[in-house]
Each structure stands twice: as structure tokens, then as C-alpha cells.
Amino acid sequence: MASSLIGKVREYLPDEVNLVERAYEFAAQAHRGQRRKSGQLFLEHPLRTAMALADLRLDADTIAAALLHDVPEDCGITLKEIETKFNPRVAKLVDGVTKLNKLTSRVETEEIRSKLQAENLRKMLMATAEDLGVILIKLADRLDNMRSLGALPLDKRLTIAHETLEIYAPLAHRLGIWRIKWQLEDLAFRYLEPEQYHRVARLVAGKRVERESFINEISQILCQELDKASIKNKVFGRPKHIYSIYQKIDKYTAQGKDFNDIHDLFALRVLTNSVSDCYKALGVIHSLWHPIFEEFDDFIANPKDNGYSSLHTTVIYNTTTPLEIQIRTYDMHQVAEYGIAAHWRYKEGKADARFDKELAWVRQLVDWKEELDSEEFLESVKSDVLSDRVFVSTPKGEIKDLPKGATPLDFAFRVHTDLGYRCIGAKVNGKLKSLNYILKNGDVVEIIAGKKDRGPSLDWLNSELGYVKSSHARTKIRQWFKKQERGQCVATGKQIWDKEIKRLGINLNNVDKAISSFGYSNPDDLFFALGCGSLSVSQIALKLNTELESAQEGIGLLPTPARISPVGIKVLGVGDLLTRLANCCHPLPGDKIIGYITQGRGITVHNRNCLNIVNEMEKERLIPVEWGNVEQVYPVTVQVDAWDRVGLVRDISAIVAEEGVNLIGVNMAPQNDNLTSLDFTLEVKSAAQLAKIISKASVVWNVISVVRKGGTDVNPETSSGQ
């Protein structure tokens, strides 16, 4: 393997290959006799890591650092020695990767692990802002570690696989490195969902001959037509990989379709010599087959932020079969496969405007590090950078990518912070839209700006109103209020207190209770927090109601609630709160949930689609909540409608038992014509566990339907769950 690495580097860096040779010899000596948990020689890991980077045709320093990246931690060799034997940059790259390894190797509680993950990501992005080589080494390192993950205990395998799918694969995607991205996704998916992974793999294998025959037929037709048009070309199939196919199957299943309805498991890719030939090829394709114009994207005229350029079109073949086709030049193809690494070369002391633009999102995140704590930073990265994206444009055609679900307000803050502050309206595709309108791919967005001194509205921070999706926009809005004159914020906060608190049922003659509850020293501090947006009315009402309830319980005025879940539910911005699960909809871990502030009885947790919540008029009583550490069981009722027969209850009860779920009650209500309706009350751990039971029960002989009950009452204040 070493000779293959040296040979590959010599092909494109003949004058610098000596550095890589010396790094290999040094690493071989340092790791002599060491083996990994899989039994492999330790040296094989840095060699494979370096080979992956050589495949990206990276510089000699980065490849040398990849060979040496485990030497300080595992061999007791100092960074000073590495700097002396090689150069300062190699040592700095090794140092950056080593620090990341130390963070991820610590085993702590889940809460601490989450904070370490956030700090790890923060450090990695800070290092990337200085030198892209750090993150490229780390991605190659993670890819090789995923290939040998089976040697680790199950809990570590799952932790690493989850982190890979949540952080590293999206990072590779954000950098445009498709070749690494899809491998990380498939490997992580294999360990996280082994049954689903092998199911998809079998489905794909079963259709392989049919798909390849189809692609060969189409390719020959297209090649002939492009040749007739004197367009030099290369046409080949583009395979979709296991995880992406799984996501597509999931989407199709929700639409009532199955695997056989997925026609684009293999798409076509056309490579040409020039941009003009790309557009000529597009014309040929559209003359051959009918195009679906809604599926057309021109990423040549408007490249993505990671440098990706291509023409995307979907056509209908033989009147029924949709066919995806990507058209690009050979240079564009290199960028599409290798992303930013395809044209990145480290040049010390030399600025490169192109890469400054492509890495602007990294530097922006580094700027946030002083504004956000670790958990907020991790959430910002996940929602604003690593999440699914939507691509929209300015009226001048400049593409802006935003997190999926973004609004015109998110767009305004993405263009410029000041534009966000002055935003009073928006036009989408030439039509006026509300500021909480959810943008779609291809939308053209025009922001209507007001006077310069207008400033944002506090309503924009209310998550239930849906004005902003991105953490970036929320942060900037909060900053604006914090920067306003203290007197103005205090006055605003006082108005909010006088107007809203009483309406929420808080019966207090003064603010002393609120001041002590939140640790403020005087009323002005409390009003300032309210006025600048760092504290919400809902948080105050919730905290005061809970403390009042606790005090009343202490003197026996109120009964203890039937269900209290202080550990299983997290309430945004407030801790130690009394919470209970609504009996009207019986939310389960995995469901999307929302909190409802009651008068004097803490908060009740509902499903987001519960009719009580949908029809609730006092939206200010709603507060964001999420599932925390939920190691307990939850009661839920499942209604089974079926044709009655001997053994029906036995068969369904057996399915419940197979899933390790406790059955605590069965009620039967005979209907007409031998129909029966049975209510099974179960104690389950999550919505996912319940979904398995429903899925299996649905195929039992004579069963007509199986549904989860709940969510039909329409008065949250009087519901028995509150």
C-alpha cells in the first residue's frame, strides 16, 4: 500500500513526493508492532487515510500530516519533533487532528458527550477556517474508521455511526466532497439500521440487471444523438447509493408507492468539453424526450456555495418513465465528486478570493463562537449549515442557500443583517407573501425594507409564529434588542409585563417573585431581559405557575398530579418545571410535541397535531418543549377494527408480547354484521415501538385497520390531561 501511495503522489507532485516518503518512514518506525482492535497493523490506518487524500490529489503537507496524525497520541512523539523533522504546517495539521481525537475519545454521560461533540465541532471549524487540510484529514480519518467499526463494542459503534451521519457526512456534503459523503452515509446507515440497510441492498440487487439494461439502452440513444450534433461527450449511469435510496423509499412510502415505482435509482450523467456544449446537449435531450420544466435547475449560471455546477433536468422516457439527467463539463465533474478539494491547494500567505467565498460559512460560524454556548453552537451548525437546504435567489439572480423551512425573514438576514432588521414585507416570485411564508427551491425573493431605524419585532422570536427558521437570524434579532439602550428595553419589558402577565393568569401584586425566581437583582433587570428578548412571557408564567403549585402542594391544597415527567421533558429556557403528558393525545417519545401553560398546574405536553393545540386561541400559552432522557413507559391506546373471529385477541396480544410491551387493558365493542372494535391499552417506550406493533397488527388475518387513538378533544384547559 505504501508503494501505491508514493506512486500516486509522484504522478501529480513529483517535486514534493520526498516529504511524503519521509513521513511514511517516520510513521512506520513510530507505529512498529502496534495493532488496532480489529487486529490490523496500526500503520494501515494512517496509510489508508493518506491514500484517500491522495485520491483527492491534495498537497504533500496534508498527506504527510495524515500519515503522522496518530503519532503524538499513540507513540509519545512531540509536535516539536514533527515540526523539526518536517515543517511547521505539518505539525500544526497534526496538532489540529490530535486535539479533535482527544475530545471524541472521552467517555462521559450523554449530556457531557453532547457538549464535547459541540466543542469538538467548534474546534474543527475554527481549525478549518485557518487551514482546510484539518477537516479533510478528519473526514478521511473518519471514513477509514467507519470501515473498521465492527471491531468496537455495540454502544461505541452506535455513538460513532450516529455522529457520522449527523455531523461528518453533512460536512462532507457542505464541502461538496460527494465521494466521501455517500460512503460515510452508507456505512453509518449500515450500523444504525442494519435490517433496513440489508433490505434496501437486496431490493437494489434484485433490480440490477433490469436497471443496467435500461441505462445502456438510453445511453446509446443519447450518445448517437449528441454525436450527430457534433458534441463530444461521455454518457454513463449515475448510481444512487443505499442510504439515498432508503430516503427515497421512505418518501415514496408516505405517498402510497412502493420500490417498483422508483424509476430514478440510476440517472444519467453527460460530460462535455465546454459550457456551451452543456447547453447544446440540453437542447438535444429536450428534443428527444419531453422535459418536466419544474425539475430543471441551472447550477452553471448559479453555482452552489460549495462550487457545484451542473445542469439538472428530468425528462419522460417512453411516455411513463421519469429520467434524471445531469450535464456538466469534465472540470465541473471533478468539483462535483471532490468538492472544494478538487481545486484547493495550500499556499501560505496568499489570499484566494474564490476560497474565501466558498469557506465564508465556516468563518461565519467561527464568529458565532463568542456569541453562543456549546449547545447553541451545535444546534446552529446542525440547523443552519448541515441540515437539508433550499435554494432561492435574489431578483438579480444571486443564489442563496438556506435551511429547509426558511422564510423571507431568514433570506433577508442571509443577504445582510441590516436588511433583516428593516424588513417589513416580501415578494416571492413577484407576489406579496407573509414574512413566515415557507420558501421553496427556485423562489425569487425580494425584500421590502422600511426606515433604517425601524428594527425587528419581538414576535419574530416566537417559534410558534414561524417567522424565522435559521439560528443565524434568531441570534441577530436577539443581538439587536440587547444593543438597544437599556432604558428603552426596560420600558418595553415593563409594557410587556403589564399587558401580558395578567392575561396569562398570574395573580401577583408585584414582580418580586419573578425577580427571585430568575436570579435578577431588581425589577429593571427583569424588564430588560423581557424587553431585549432574552426572556419570554411564557417562560415567566411557566416558572411562576410551577412554583405556586409546588408551594400549594406543600401545604396540602392541591393533589399530586397523576403523571409528572421532570426528567423526560425539557422546557425551553426554564428548568425544574412540573410537566405532565396530556390524556387527550398521549404523546410518546419520538412524537413532535408542544407545551401548554396551564393556570396554576405547570405545563401539559401535547402532540403538535393534537386538536386541542390546533384549535387553541391563546397561542401565547404554547411553549417549545422536547424529549429529554426518557427511560420510562407511556400508556397509549390502539384501536383495532376487524371482522370478528376466534383467536383474534390472542393473535394481536402475541404481537404485543413479541415486542416486549406490557398489555394493560382490552375493551371490545361489537359492531353490526360481525364487525368488532377493540381498544388495546399498552405501555410503550416510544412512538417507534408503537409503530412496529401497529405495522404487524395491520396484517393479522381479518384486521381492517389499526390506529392510535387520541387528539380529538377540543378544550385543552378542561381536558383530563391537564
What is the pLDDT, as a whole number, of residue 689?
87
Q: By C-alpha distance, which of 285, 278, 286, 291 is closest to 233?
A: 278
Phi, psi of 684 (to 5 degrees): -115, 165
What is the pLDDT, as a whole number, of residue 496?
74
Mark whether 210 is an active-site residue: no
Phi, psi of 212 (to 5 degrees): -65, -40
Cell of 63: 498527506
Mark whether 55 is an active-site residue: no
- Yes or no: say if 575 and 534 are a contact pair by the CB < 8 Å rule: no
Q: By C-alpha distance, which of 256, 260, 214, 259 is closest to 237?
A: 214
What is the pLDDT, as a whole number, of residue 25?
94
What is the pLDDT, as a whole number, of residue 328?
96
Q: By C-alpha distance, which of 304, 307, 282, 277 is closest to 293?
A: 282
Say which residues have a Cβ less than 8 Å from residue 232's Cβ, sequence separation at least 6: 272, 273, 277
In this structure, how many other beta carbons lie within 10 angstroms of the beta carbon of residue 351?
A: 7
Q: Which residues pair with 236 in a beta bridge?
A: 269
In this structure, how many other beta carbons lie within 10 angstroms of the beta carbon of residue 371?
A: 13
What is the pLDDT, as a whole number, of residue 533?
66
3-state secondary structure of 322: strand
Q: What angle do CA 606, 607, 609 make, to 5 degrees?
A: 125
What is the pLDDT, as a whole number, of residue 571?
63
Type of residue numbered 163: E
What structural domains and CATH numbers belong to the chain?
2-192 (1.10.3210.10), 205-341 (3.30.460.10), 388-481 (3.10.20.30), 484-535 (no CATH), 634-708 (3.30.70.260)
Average pLDDT across each block of 10 residues of the chain; the chain has 722 residues. List them in order.
Answer: 89 92 93 80 92 91 93 85 93 82 47 59 68 88 90 86 87 85 94 91 80 87 94 86 83 66 72 94 93 85 81 86 90 84 55 54 56 58 65 82 88 89 88 89 86 75 82 81 72 75 56 71 79 68 55 35 45 59 80 77 80 70 73 82 82 85 79 80 85 86 83 38 40
Select which of 16, 21, 44, 73 is catalytic.
73
| 570/548 Cα distance (integer angstroms) | 20
| 455/531 Cα distance (integer angstroms) | 13
Q: By C-alpha distance, which of 373, 483, 367 is closest to 418?
A: 483
| 497/177 Cα distance (integer angstroms) | 51
Phi, psi of 109 (to 5 degrees): -70, 165
Residue 241: CA atoms inside 13 Å, Cβ hemisphere, count? 14
Phi, psi of 639 (to 5 degrees): -100, 125
- Yes or no: say if 335 and 326 are a contact pair by the CB < 8 Å rule: no
Q: What is the pTM of this model?
A: 0.56
Select which of 74, 297, 443, 553 is catalytic.
74
